[in-house]
Structure 1
Amino acid sequence: MIARAIGTVCGAGYLRPAPGTWGSAAALPLAYGVHLLGGVAALGIATLIVFAAGWWATAQMTAGQADHDPSEIVVDEVAGQWIALFPLSYAASTRGIDILDMWPGWVAGFVLFRLFDIWKPWLVGWADRRGDALGVMLDDVIAGLFAAVGVLVLAGVAHGVLMR
């Protein structure tokens, strides 16, 4: 019961179509709330907690099942999406910026994370092919890292090149 609530992010994983996208969308207001509570440090700690809880919940939900990554498990999207938003939370925390003022970064983080999560390039695909609960979580963590780098690059282009 608890594993299912965690794994499906309180039922968001049952939304159709595209439960992974729904899970990523659910992660956005949660990230905002965590950021408001304690900035990038709180988001980092919360991400570690979500990762650990998600790993446990995924292992519980898939025990004895042929499908190691059922579509209703979306807690991995929350962890990955939060990582994609780290650059925004960091900038807001260190520069006194309202994190909502960086809305293009939210859009970029969401789109890039979904792209890397669906496409599964390089290390994302490697983690996904592990075929276990850790791989379910890791592929989204890596996709989140790739997306965070993309957010940084796009911010650099927007603020360093386009704003001149």
Structure 2
Amino acid sequence: MIRGIVTFGFVGLLRPAPGTWGSLAAVLLALALHEAGGTALLPLALAVVVALGFWAVPQAIAGSPDKDPGEIVIDEVAGQWLALCFTLLPLWWHGVSALAAWPGIVAPFVLFRLFDVWKPWLVGRADRRGDAAGVMLDDLWAGLFAGVVSVVLAGGYHAVLQPAMGL
């Protein structure tokens, strides 16, 4: 059961790049939830995944020399859902399909993967902890940064570029 949780239904066993597969699975589930009218449930799903991750990851890595195995992707799911909350919740609030506003899905995905791999500032600090909490925290920081940057990019587009292009 622990392995199924930390690999997010065994998605983490896909190769290559299990973190990207985990992020993609998270995006597809969030998109399906959004299109089904359940976007308001995304923060609840995020809270459940975060709680499960903080509970299951320590058990999954106990006694292992690798403190952040690639197959553990529940942290990517949590970080990706956090990033997506910044764009999907406003889209839902305004009754806009995420498919019609596809940059609201693509930008958080790409930015989350960038911050997760690059590990700037607090993302890297959390990763260097070398413990189970660090496994989860680095992706939550990456998700927060990706969400904020997504909003800034969307604001710049809608406030500056769109009017300048006469759209």
Interval containing the TM-score (normalised by the shorter chain): over 0.9
- 1:151 maps to 2:150: yes
Is the CA contact (8 Å cut-off) linking 1:58 and 1:133 kept in structure 2?
Answer: yes
* Cα-to-partner distance string for 1:8-62 (whole Å, 9 max, x where unaligned): 11111111111111110111111123333532x3111110100111122211110
Is the CA contact (8 Å cut-off) linking 1:76 and 1:137 kept in structure 2?
Answer: yes
- 1:72-151 equivalences in 2 (<5 Å): 72-151=71-150
- The whole-number CA distance in structure 1 between the counterparts of 2:91 and 2:110 is 20
- 1:61 maps to 2:60: yes
- The whole-number CA distance in structure 1 between the counterparts of 2:141 and 2:132 is 15
* Bigger fraction of residues in helix: 1
Question: 1:22 — aligned with what?
Answer: 21
How far is the alpha carbon of 1:99 from its aligned partner? 2.2
Shifted more, 61-70 versus 97-106: the winner is: 97-106
Question: 1:163 — aligned with what?
Answer: 162
SS for the counterpart of 1:17 is coil
CA RMSD of aligned residues (A): 1.2
- The whole-number CA distance in structure 2 between the counterparts of 1:104 and 1:34 is 17
Q: Percent identity?
A: 58
SS for the counterpart of 1:162 is helix
SS for the counterpart of 1:101 is coil
- The whole-number CA distance in structure 1 between the counterparts of 2:6 and 2:33 is 19
- The whole-number CA distance in structure 2 between the counterparts of 1:99 and 1:91 is 10
Question: 2:41 — aligned with what?
Answer: 42
How far is the alpha carbon of 1:97 from its aligned partner? 1.1
- The whole-number CA distance in structure 1 between the counterparts of 2:32 and 2:132 is 27
Is the CA contact (8 Å cut-off) linking 2:98 and 2:104 kept in structure 1?
Answer: no
Gaps of 5+ in 1: none
Question: 1:9 — aligned with what?
Answer: 8
Gaps of 5+ in 2: none
Q: 1:37 to 1:59 in 2, by over 3 A?
A: farther
One-letter amino acid of the counterpart of residue 140, structure 1: D
- The whole-number CA distance in structure 2 between the counterparts of 1:129 and 1:152 is 28
Is the CA contact (8 Å cut-off) linking 1:13 and 1:71 kept in structure 2?
Answer: yes
